[in-house]
Amino acid sequence: MPSGEYDPDAAEARWQRRWVDDETFAYPEETADPDTAFAIDTPPPTVSGNLHWGHVYGSILQDVVARFHRMNGRDVLYPFGYDDNGIASERLTERELDIRHQDFERREFQRKCREVCREYEADFTEKMQGMGLSIDWNNTYRTISPEVQRVSQLSFVDLYDEGREYREQAPAIWCPECETAISQVETEDDEQDSHFHDIEFTVAGSGEGFTVSTTRPELLPACVAVFVHPDDDENQHLVGGEATIPLFGHDVPIIADDRVDMETGSGIVMCCTFGDQTDIEWYQAHDLDLRVAIDESGHLTDVAGPYEGMHSSEAREAIVSDLEDEGALLDRRAITHTVNVHERCGVGVEFLVTEQWYIRVLDKREEYLQAGREMDWFPEKMFTRYEHWVEGLQWDWLISRQRSSGIPFPVWYCADCDREIIAAKDDLPVDPLSDDPPVDACPECGHEEFVPEDDVLDTWATSSLTPLINAGWDWDEAAGEFTMDRPEIYPMDVRPQGHDIISFWLFHTVIKCYEHTGEVPFESTMINGMVLDENREKMSKSKGNVVDPDAVMEQFPVDAARFWAAGSSIGDDLPYQEKGLRAGEKLIRKLWNASKLVESLAPEPYPEQPDELAELDRWLLAELDRELERLTERLERREFSKARDGLRTFFWGTFCDDYLEIAKQREDASARYTLRTAHRRFLKLFAPLLAHVTEEIWHDEYADGAADGASGETPAAAESIHLADWPDPLGLEADHDAGELAMAVVGALRKFKSDRQLPLNAALDVVEVYGDVRGFEDDVTGVMHVEDLRVHPDAEAPVETVTTGIDLEYATVGPAYGGDVPDIEAAIEAGEYELVDGELHAAGHELAPEEFTVETDRRYRGDGELLEADDAAVIVRVDAE
Ligand SMILES: [Zn+2]
Ligand SMILES: [Zn+2]
C-alpha cells in the first residue's frame, strides 16, 4: 500500500471512471438463467438539473443491494432510465427556453423538449456516476425514445384488445392550471383558508326563502338542483318544488337524497356541474342538466352571464359582492378546509365533462390487492399503504392528457361515425398527427377521412412499464405473440422506490404488467423514506433548512455518504446529519490504517495456512464467521443499519482494538495467516457499503495475488473486489465465551502495563484469572509475557465487596422525608445505618429500595493488584520491581 493517508477525492473519482470505462458492472447477457439473474427496477427520475436527497438516499441503498447480490453470485441487471416524456419535462422546457407549449406545433415542441432534456440528463448521469453507483450504463432508456414509445403504445393496444380500455364522455378530474385531465392519484388534499357563505335561495312561486351554505359561490350559475335529506323534517315540504337561483334567476328542482350531510350548514345543499364528487353522483343518479360554468382554463363561461371571462377566483369576489348588494348574502365566515388540488401545481381541481380514455381498474380491485400481497414488502408495513390506496379507489385510471409533449395515442377516429381505428402493432410507434391510419376506409361506414387523437398518454402509463422495458418486451408479428429479450429477469427481483409513489408508480406497474403477463412484476419491493433535516423536520425552502446534496457530495467522500445513508431502517425517514458523515470518514480512515498495519505485520498477501492455528486465531476467525452470517442475513432482509452497525462494531472493537493490538506483539505463521484471511474478508464485507476504499485497498493488496485455498477464493479472476465472491463461513470451531474473556484479560493486562508505564514486553510474574479462559492460556501468556498463569475457572475470586456509600434518590426522598433529610444524611455520613432486607434504616426511618442506591467496591487484600476483565477478576503480581 502507498505510504501516507488515503485520498478519497482522487481515489473515488479514479474508480468511478474506471468502473464506467471497464464496464465492470455490465449485465452478462450470455447467462440468461432466471435463477442467477437478479434485476433491479431502478426508478427513472424525471429530468431536472439537481440531485435531490431522494436520489442520493434511495440510489445508495439500491447500490448496496446490487453489490451484495453481485458478490453472491447473481448476474445483476442494474439499469437506469430517464422519465422524460411527462409534464415535468414539458414545464422544464418552457422554463428553460421561456416559451409556452401552446405556441408550438406538437412535434416542434417535442423536439425542443428532447434537446433540453438531453443536456440535463448528461449532467445528471455524471452526478449519478459520481455517487459510485454500480449501474450498467449500457442498459439505459429514455421514456421519450422511439423504443419506449413502441412499448408504451403496444401496451395501449394490448389493453384495448383485451377490453381493459374505454373512451368516455364524462366528468373527469381537471386541472385548470395545467389545462389537462388528470387521474385521481395526481390529486392530494390541501388545507386552505376560505369562506363559508350563507346564501338565500327562494322557492319558485311562493317566494319562501331558505339558506344554502357553500364555499364556492362562483358555481351558482352551474347550479342544477337543490338537495334535502329525506330525514330532514323541517325542510321536507320544499321537496318536489323548484328553487330560484339568486343573481342568475334560473329555476332548478328540489330533490330528496340521503347523500346530503345534514350536519353542515343549513342541511340544504346545491348541486352544481360540478363542484365535487357528490355532484357527479347526483348528476348521474338524477339525470340532471349539465350547466358548465367554468372552462378548461378556470374562467367562467357564457352561462355565467355578466361574469363570463372572469377567472373563478375573481368571479367569486364579484358574485359575493353582488349577492351582498341584493341582500341575498346572509353570512360570510372565514374557515380552513380541505381542498382537492393537483399535486404538481397545487391548484384546486375542477370536474369537467370531457371525452377521455380510461383503463378499467375498479372492477379488479380485489385481484390487484391479491397481486400486492404476492410481493415481499420491505418494510412489511408499506403494504398497508398499497392496500388503503386500492380500497379507496373511486375512479378508473384516466390515461389521456391534453398536453403537447408525450407519447401519442396510436388512435384515429372515423370522421363520420367516430369509430375508433387502432394502429397495427407492427407499425408502432406511430404519431397519428403525422402518420396514416392502418385502413383506407372506415370498417364501419366506409368513410375515408379520419381524425387523429391528439391527446398524449399519462406519463405513468409509460413509466409503469419499466419491468417490461427492461425485459425487452415486444410484439413478434410473425409469431403473433408478445416476446421478451430477457425473459430471465421477469418478474424482477426488487422494485426500489419512495413511499410517496406507491399509489402512482408501484400500483400502476402492478396493473399494467399483471394485465400484460398475468404475473406480478416483482418478487419484492424496497420502499425508502425521505431525508429530513437535522431536527427530523421536512426540508423546505420556506423554512430555510434545505441542505444541498451536491454540496455535501463535494465536501465528504462518497463512501462517507454511503455509510450515512445506510444508517436507516428501510422505510424510515433519515435525518441529514453531518456527524453521520463524519463517522463514515472515520471508519474509512480506520479501515485504511488497519490495512497498513496488517500489511506490515503480514507482508505476504496469501500466506500458507499453518498446520495448527493458535486458539486465539481460531477464535477470531470463528467470530468473523458469526459476524458474516449475521451480516448476510441482515442484508438479505434489507436491514441496512443493523448490518452496518454490526459489522462496524465487530471490525472496530474486536478486530482493531483487541485482536490487532495483540497481533502487533506476535510474529508467527498462525497470526500472519489469520490477519490476512480476516483482512480480505473484512474488505469484502465492507465492499457493498464502502465501495471505493475497499476497491482501492483490494487493488493494492489482492487483485493479482495467488489463490487462497482455504476459503476457495480465486483472486486472480477478481480484478475488482465487487466481482469477487462473497465469503462463505470457514466453519472453524472455537469457544466463544472463553475467547471473549481471554481478549478482555489481555486488554486488562495491557492497560495495567501502560498505566504503570511498563514496556509491553515486560514480564508479569504471576497472573491469576478467576474465570474460564481455558484453551487460551498460551495466547495470554505469550502475548502478555506472563511467567505463571493460573486459571481458576470455577473458584470464587478472593475478593470482597464492601459498601462505600449510599446515594439518596432526592427526587423521592425530598418530598417523603422533608425536614428529616439532613438527619438521614448525617447518619449515613457517620456510618450509623443498617441495610436490612434491602431497606435502609437510618435516623429512625426505613427507606424503601427505590429511594437510594448502594455504592460498592470490590477489594482484594492479598498480594498483587486486582484488575477487572469483563466479569472476571484478574490478579497480577510483579515481583521484581
Ligand atoms: Zn396542475
Ligand atoms: Zn365510420
Render pLDDT for 572-628 as a digit per residue (tens, 0 to 9): 899 999 999 999 999 999 999 999 999 999 999 999 999 999 999 999 999 999 999
- Burial class for 161, CB neighbours closer than 10 Å (0-12, 13-18, 19+): exposed
pLDDT of residue 710: 45
| Nearest residue to 553 via CA among 135, 130, 58 | 130
Which ligand is located closest to the Cα atom of residue 415?
A: 2
Which ligand is located closest to the Cα atom of residue 439?
A: 2
Which ligand is located closest to the Cα atom of residue 412?
A: 2
Domain match, 266 and 339 both: yes
Using the mean position of ligand 2's atoms as its centre, give its distance from the Cα of residue 418 in Å.
6
- Which residues, 6+ apart, have CB-to-CB distance to 564 below 8 Å? 577, 580, 581, 583, 584
In a domain, 776, yes or no: no
Write down the pTM of the prediction.
0.84
Which ligand is located closest to the Cα atom of residue 346?
A: 1
Using the mean position of ligand 2's atoms as its centre, give its distance from the Cα of residue 453 in Å.
15
Using the mean position of ligand 1's atoms as its centre, give its distance from the Cα of residue 342 in Å.
5
Which ligand is located closest to the Cα atom of residue 446?
A: 2
**What is the spatial distance between Cα 534 and Cα 54, in angstroms, rounded to a whole number?**
16
Q: What is the 3-state secondary structure (H, E, C) of 478-513?
A: CCCEEEECCHHHCCEEEEEEEHHHHHHHHHHHHHHH
Q: State the binding site for ATP.
A: 541
Here the CATH number for the domain that contains residue 723 is 1.10.730.10
List Cα–Cα distances, 202 to 221, 251, 562, 587, 630, in angstroms: 15, 10, 68, 78, 76
- % of the chain surpassing 70 pLDDT: 98
Print the domain residue range for 215.
189-343
**What is the spatial distance between Cα 843 and Cα 827, in angstroms, rounded to a whole number?**
6
- Burial class for 798, CB neighbours closer than 10 Å (0-12, 13-18, 19+): middle
List Cα–Cα distances, 53 to 61, 136, 379, in angstroms: 12, 22, 20
pLDDT tens digits, residue range 438-490?
999 999 999 999 999 999 999 999 999 999 999 999 999 999 999 999 999 99
pLDDT of residue 706: 45
Element (H, E) at 401: strand 400-401
Judge whether residue 798 has pLDDT over 50: yes
Binned at pLDDT 50, 70 and 90, residue 730 comes out as: very high
Using the mean position of ligand 1's atoms as its centre, give its distance from the Cα of residue 187 in Å.
9
Domain match, 852 and 714 both: no
Here the CATH number for the domain that contains residue 317 is 3.90.740.10
pLDDT tens digits, residue range 344-400?
899 999 999 999 999 999 999 999 999 999 999 999 999 999 999 999 998 899 999
Domain match, 710 and 834 both: no
Residue of higher predicted confidence among 322 and 837: 322
41 and 466 in contact (C-beta within 8 Å)? yes
pLDDT of residue 660: 94
573 and 538 in contact (C-beta within 8 Å)? no
Q: State the binding site.
A: 541
Using the mean position of ligand 2's atoms as its centre, give its distance from the Cα of residue 181 in Å.
27
Domain match, 196 and 339 both: yes
- Which residues, 6+ apart, have CB-to-CB distance to 472 below 8 Å? 484, 485, 486
Name the grid cell of 350: 375542477
| Nearest residue to 238 via CA among 266, 268, 282, 197 | 268
**What is the spatial distance between Cα 408 and Cα 674, in angstroms, rounded to a whole number?**
64
For 23-128, strand residue ranges (E) read 37-39, 75-77, 80-82
Using the mean position of ligand 2's atoms as its centre, give its distance from the Cα of residue 445 in Å.
4
Domain match, 194 and 270 both: yes
Domain match, 725 and 845 both: no
Domain match, 593 and 696 both: yes
Name the grid cell of 333: 365566515
- Which residues, 6+ apart, have CB-to-CB distance to 758 below 8 Å? 752, 878
Residue of higher predicted confidence among 546 and 247: 247
Query: In total, how many domains does the chain have?
Result: 3
Q: What is the chain's percent helix, strand, coil content, to nearest 5?
A: 40, 25, 35
Using the mean position of ligand 1's atoms as its centre, give its distance from the Cα of residue 228 in Å.
34
> What's the distance, CA 163 to chain centroid?
35
- Burial class for 616, CB neighbours closer than 10 Å (0-12, 13-18, 19+): buried
For the chain, give the mean pLDDT.
92
Domain match, 211 and 308 both: yes
Place of cell 502495563: 753
In a domain, 173, yes or no: no
Other beta carbons less than 10 A from residue 439's beta carbon: 14
Pairing of strands 411-414, 450-452: antiparallel
- Which of 681, 706, 734 is a domain's end point? 734
- Which of 734, 751, 768 is a domain's end point? 734
**What is the spatial distance between Cα 626 and Cα 638, in angstroms, rounded to a whole number?**
18
In a domain, 285, yes or no: yes
In a domain, 688, yes or no: yes
Which ligand is located closest to the Cα atom of residue 421?
A: 2
Using the mean position of ligand 1's atoms as its centre, give its distance from the Cα of residue 43 in Å.
23
In a domain, 315, yes or no: yes
Using the mean position of ligand 2's atoms as its centre, give its distance from the Cα of residue 173 in Å.
30
Other beta carbons less than 10 A from residue 536's beta carbon: 11
Judge whether residue 715 has pLDDT over 70: no
Domain match, 702 and 830 both: no
In a domain, 695, yes or no: yes
- Tell me the residue type at 113: C
pLDDT tens digits, residue range 69-89?
999 999 999 999 999 887 788
Name the grid cell of 186: 395526481
Binned at pLDDT 50, 70 and 90, residue 718 comes out as: low
Domain match, 588 and 694 both: yes
In a domain, 594, yes or no: yes
Domain match, 218 and 291 both: yes
pLDDT of residue 704: 66
Domain match, 723 and 834 both: no
Using the mean position of ligand 2's atoms as its centre, give its distance from the Cα of residue 165 in Å.
20
Using the mean position of ligand 1's atoms as its centre, give its distance from the Cα of residue 173 in Å.
11
* Rounded average pLDDT over 732-737: 93
In a domain, 351, yes or no: no
